Amino acid sequence: MYDMNHLKKLGTLGKNASEAMKAFQAFDSIALQEGAIPVKYKELMAVAVALTTQCPYCLEIHKKNAIKAGATQEELAEATFISAALRAGAAVVHGTHLMDD
């Protein structure tokens, strides 16, 4: 199902919902531009989120962007384990819903 070639269809998606696509692209661009948080850190955050949401498209795009912004393999590895820790932590905390008082 996941094929990077599907990204070529974003133009078609945009044609069918042009205002929404323009708004999304503007928001995405602004959110990831240099600001109080440097681009490298924003891209590492995007990688971490992509790992937790398991979006292969986002992983590919933001990995490339993170490396372009200066991220190292060590930083990508640490982002991976931060994502794993938070995902596991969420499962543990949600486990409290299973417990009787």
Taking the C-alpha atoms of residue 49 and residue 51, their distance in angstroms, rounded to an integer, is 5
51 confidence band (pLDDT: 50, 70, 90)? very high
CA–CA separation, 44 vs 69, rounded Å? Answer: 10
What's the predicted TM-score (pTM) here? 0.88
More confident: 2 or 16: 16
Which tens digits make up the pLDDT trace of 65-101? Answer: 999 999 999 999 999 999 999 999 999 999 999 999 8
pLDDT number for residue 2:
86
- Going from the C-alpha of 21 to that of each of 18, 34, 64, 81, 87, the distances in angstroms are 5, 22, 22, 33, 30
Q: What is the largest CA-CA distance in the chain?
A: 54
**Which is nearest to 13 in space by CA: 28, 24, 2?**
24
